[in-house]
Structure 1
């Protein structure tokens, strides 16, 4: 499954990037980082992650919860959304 993850930085971007540089993303087995984008104010990050299910992201979000507040939504590609909507 794919998930859109919106990260809201609690203490700014610097602590997040310092930890990332020191230890990587710390994603558990079975979870894959796809891509990310950060707003110009460096307050939020949008990430696409792949994981077998929502619960698979829990260890990752716990590891970063002191620096980041997470919004996580399961997403489907546009062609699948159209197929579902139109039957």
Structure 2
């Protein structure tokens, strides 16, 4: 299944997110696949397309990365 993870950055500052990915990678557990991502021109939000069969993997990963973003939204976009 494909999911969209949306992160909001406090003060439109995506530097914590970009630094984390640069230094640590995405830190994905086995079974969770990064597909694509982009950051809005305003640097307010990041959209990450992820793929997995077990929603619990995605939820656990989102809880792990909350230090860099204000809030998260997970939406299923395809089977």
TM-score scaled to structure 2, two decimals?
A: 0.85
- Alignment gaps of 5+ in structure 2: none
- Alignment gaps of 5+ in structure 1: 78-87
Structure 1 residue aligned with 2:36: 35
Return the structure number with greater relative CO, CA threshold 8 A, min gap 6.
Answer: 2
RMSD: 1.5
TM-score scaled to structure 1, two decimals?
A: 0.78
Runs of 4+ deviating beyond 3 Å: none
CA distance in 2, matches of 1:18, 1:34: 19
CA distance in 1, matches of 2:76, 2:26: 20
